[in-house]
Amino acid sequence: MRILITGGAGFIGSHIADLLAAEGHDIVLLDALLPQAHGGSEAPEWTRDHEFVRGDVRDDALLARLLPGVDAVCHQAAMVGHGVDPSDAPAYAGHNDYGTAVLLAAMHAAGIARLVLAGSMVVYGEGHYECPEHGSVRPGPRRNEDLDAGRYEPPCPLCGRALAPGLVPEDAPLDPRSTYAATKLAQEHLAAAWARQTGGSVWSLRYHNVYGPRMPRDTPYAGVASIFRSALARGEAPRVLEDGRQRRDFVHVTDVAAANALALGRPAGADVLVPVNVCSGEPHTIGDLATTLSAAVDGPPPVIAGGSRPGDVRHVVADPARASALLGFRAAVSFDDGVRAFAGEPLRRSVAPA
């Protein structure tokens, strides 16, 4: 197949490109080289093995030139991360939602019916919780006064008792709690509407906490693994918010690339968007990540800083069952092996100010 990968010079997109090319596919990369993710105006060295076009996914004239002859689109282009403050909102909506709308319109004009979308676990908000009295419940946003007092666990919204976190399935209620999260959910709605209107097929691969080589460094838009790595590279201790016991699902970027390859090989079905967790299914704490990275480079131990970021959730660990059943996907890289290797792998060069 000939496959267009938007965001193809980026952290995840570049690994997808390498894997698909190794499988014999014809790949074209489109990337705007946003300063939030790239440390300069030059394309990264790993793009040299592929057909690369620098451009914006919002450029409909460019897409009209690129899409003829393309069999499927792997849409990775996005402004990612937690961001800085609400002033980021127009940029997030412009890149993520308007960009997706322009791409979908161009795909329709070109007669392309297969899309794999980079979704995100952030659409869930908090993960899955069980109350000993009320069963499965959805806690509301945590109160600032509780966070300031170091009470980080969300209580049962009905009785106030402690909750047990579990694995979140794809049919969980959706509750985005940041600007980025809201734009990722809007991408799914746009793609679902496109599928219904055109007979197209969409997998939304809801990535959990992806880490691995080629992550950007020294930027507030990067994931927590990159933020900790950047601190250690400066000789500083990783700074862990809250008490470090918040649980996440860390998945290696090579596993994420494998999930994309599987999705591109299996249409989701006509007139439909199918969401799938791309995850390990194994809970690890943020403190585990910081400790493992520090130990791997003989760096300073993590500092538990308390506090929290607005919109942060406490626990999100995914149920991997649907990915296994529908795509045959299972994460192959263990947490210990992946994180220890990541500790010595290259990050992208420092990011220029936006």
Sequence-ordered strand ranges (E) for 223-330: 239-241, 247-248, 250-252, 272-278, 284-285, 303-306, 317-318
Q: Scanning the structure block, which residue is given the tokens 């300069």?
A: 40
**Short-list 23, 75, 334, 343, CA closest to 212:** 343
In this structure, are residues 184 and 123 in contact, taking their beta carbons and an 8 Å threshold?
yes
In this structure, are residues 127 and 317 in contact, taking their beta carbons and an 8 Å threshold?
yes
Please give the Cα distance from 132 to 32 (Å, whole number). Answer: 49
Choosing from 152, 180, 207, 211, which is the catalytic residue? 180
Active-site residue, 211 included: no
**Short-list 327, 98, 306, 127, CA closest to 209:** 127
118 Cβ contact partners less than 8 Å away, ≥ 6 residues apart = 7, 12, 75, 76, 78, 205, 207
> Active-site residues: which are they?
180
